[in-house]
Amino acid sequence: MSKKEIYFECEACGAKSPKWLGRCPSCSAWNSFVEVKETKELQFVSRQEKSIRLSEVEEKNSSRISTGISEFDRILGGGIVEGSAILLGGDPGVGKSTLLLQTLGNIGKSSIVLYSSAEESLSQIAERGRRISRDSKYLEILSSTSLENIIATAREAKASVLVVDSIQTIFSEEVPASPGSLAQIRECSFSLTQFAKTENIAVFIIGHITKEGIIAGPKALEHIVDVVLYLEGDNYKNLKVLRAQKNRFGTTNEIALFDMTEEGLKEVVNPSEVLLKDRMVGEAGSSIGISVEGTRAILFEIQSLYSPSAFGLAKRMSVGFDRNRMQLLAAVIERATRIMMGDKDLFLNLVGGVEVEDTGLDLPVCLSIISTLKGKPLPEDLTSFGEIGLLGEVRSASMPLKRIKEAQALGFKRVLLPKSNYQRNEFKEKIPELIPVSSLKEAIEILNKS
């Protein structure tokens, strides 16, 4: 039975409609519906499976392949799981292809790997590969836009890892749609995932990012694969951040920092030292905060600046820190300090361009803003962490001991921390001076005396 369908589908969430709609009723996205023409054989197969007890299921330990990059292995949860499908997204030119070509170069020293690109010719891939992976003996390259050809080549070569660059530029001959369309992206990603599972081959899929910051194509694309990674960073800066959005084989809280060089991406082993190396000491508005990203503590410099509002409506802008949370903290600061901020434009920056969601940075953010409002620099050997409540109370943060050890390793002598963390943990001798506080007002009073 054959059936031809012409319908419209939302690029943001995958919702379908028989006619074009200006706004998606499912996700409220505007102008996201595109026409989809699909012709295929409809086959209905009934699968009859029986349940089995959990204790009767045979245990299997999934073996992992090391990428040769310790930071990349840590993000993946210990390496590449055989038979997994991994989606890597990022802005154009951020270094996605470089990272995976470098990874294949390391794995290709001992086993066969395949890099398939639909965006570059063989000579272009080879030129970059010789520069990044010159010592790889078993790295094979392919320039093809056909999904069937890519899968057949990987199967014939018996590759242990396959990289497809990119999902938006390949097509399946079985789908009557142009490359990059919703039908093609969905079919190609599903076929590659099934190929990874059946052949026990790890497959990396590179995806482009839209202007909204999400991987182009339906959200179902992220549900099909096992791991979703994002490589972030300014094209004009060398520092790149790799983070996991989804990981069936590990945590999603880890981040890894890389330095872009002519020879590829080099892992940053000590990110705190790199992020603080250009710090200006003795300037008002600068504060050092300790954040925890996954299993690692990282020190960030937080800079703030204010200026009189020219139009009577105060601006609130932040880079690397949630702007809505900054507005909330500004209101708490007004209550604690009695300094009116309604006529002041406020700007906040986490140096390094890393996006951080840890609420343990609330206290150092507040201290940075208070420092710039009063024009008084904070002590250069002071760092802090702690969550701030609406009433100005300083709440406990996760992994306090790990934060304190990181501060101590970088030479900081004093740590301002929540009193609840200080009472619950026995680390009072880990650093020369720990200063517990229960409220933002108490923290300000201590700083005024120092």
- The mean predicted confidence, pLDDT, of the chain is 87
236: pLDDT confidence band, cut at 50, 70 and 90?
low
Here the tokens at position 37 are 């023409």
pLDDT at 45 over 80: no
By residue count, the chain amounts to 450
Among 333, 341, 334, smallest CA distance to 363 is for: 333
Mean pLDDT highest for which of 33-37, 66-70, 260-264, 305-309?
Answer: 66-70
State pTM to two decimals: 0.81
Which residues lie across from 39 on neighbouring strands? 4
d(CA 4, CA 60): 43
Q: What is the pLDDT of residues 436-450, one digit of tens each?
A: 999 999 999 988 887
Q: In what order do the strands lie in the sheet with 316-319?
A: 316-319, 344-350, 296-308, 286-293, 382-384, 414-418, 433-437
- In this structure, which topology does domain 274-449 adopt according to CATH? Ribosomal Protein S5; domain 2 (3.30.230)
CA dist 326 to 194, 304, 316, 318, 347, Å? 44, 11, 8, 8, 9
310 versus 213: the higher-pLDDT residue is 310
| pLDDT, position 44 | 42
264 versus 81: the higher-pLDDT residue is 81
Residue environment code for 29-40, b if the CB has 16+ CB neighbours within 10 A, otherwise e: eeebbeebebee
**Rg for the chain (alpha carbons), in Å?**
26
DSSP 359: G
Going through 198-269 in order, the beta strands assigned E by DSSP cover: 202-208, 227-232, 239-247, 255-261, 264-267
In the chain, the percentage of residues whose pLDDT exceeds 90 is 54
Going through 248-402 in order, the beta strands assigned E by DSSP cover: 255-261, 264-267, 286-293, 296-308, 316-319, 344-350, 382-384, 387-388, 394-395
Instruction: Tokens 């000590």: give the residue.
Output: 270
CATH number of 64-269: 3.40.50.300
| pLDDT, position 425 | 55
Q: Are 417 and 448 in contact (CB under 8 A)?
A: no
| pLDDT, position 4 | 53
Is residue 17 classed exposed, middle or buried when 0-12, 13-18 and 19+ CB atoms within 10 A define those classes?
middle
Residue environment code for 103-141, b if the CB has 16+ CB neighbours within 10 A, otherwise e: bbbbbbeeebbbbbbbbbeeeebeebbeebbeebebbbb
152: pLDDT confidence band, cut at 50, 70 and 90?
very high
Here the tokens at position 4 are 């031809």
| pLDDT, position 219 | 62
| pLDDT, position 115 | 96
Q: What is the pLDDT of residues 301-339, one digit of tens each?
A: 999 999 988 777 888 999 999 999 999 999 999 999 888
pLDDT at 60 over 80: no
Q: Are 85 and 224 in contact (CB under 8 A)?
A: yes
217: pLDDT confidence band, cut at 50, 70 and 90?
low
Distance from CA of residue 407 to its chain's centroid?
Answer: 24
Read off the pLDDT of each residue in 119-134 and give the average, rounded to a whole number. Answer: 87
pLDDT at 430 over 90: no
pLDDT at 194 over 90: yes
| pLDDT, position 269 | 86
Read off the pLDDT of each residue in 270-274 and give the average, rounded to a whole number. Answer: 90
Read off the pLDDT of each residue in 97-112 and give the average, rounded to a whole number. Answer: 94
The full set of domain ranges for the chain reads 2-41, 64-269, 274-449
d(CA 207, CA 172): 17
- Other CB atoms within a 10 A radius of the CB of residue 435 amount to 17
CA dist 212 to 33, 205, 288, 396, Å? 16, 20, 31, 34
Which residues lie across from 33 on neighbouring strands? 10
| pLDDT, position 43 | 46
The alpha carbon torsion through 244, 250, 253, 258 (nearest 10 deg) reads -50
Among 295, 369, 298, 386, smallest CA distance to 334 is for: 369
| pLDDT, position 103 | 95
Q: What is the pLDDT of residues 366-389, one digit of tens each?
A: 999 999 999 999 999 999 999 999
Beta strands 382-384 and 414-418, pairing class: parallel
Distance from CA of residue 429 to its chain's centroid?
Answer: 35
431: pLDDT confidence band, cut at 50, 70 and 90?
low
35 versus 327: the higher-pLDDT residue is 327
Instruction: Tokens 């030119």: give the residue.
Output: 93
220: pLDDT confidence band, cut at 50, 70 and 90?
low
| pLDDT, position 131 | 85
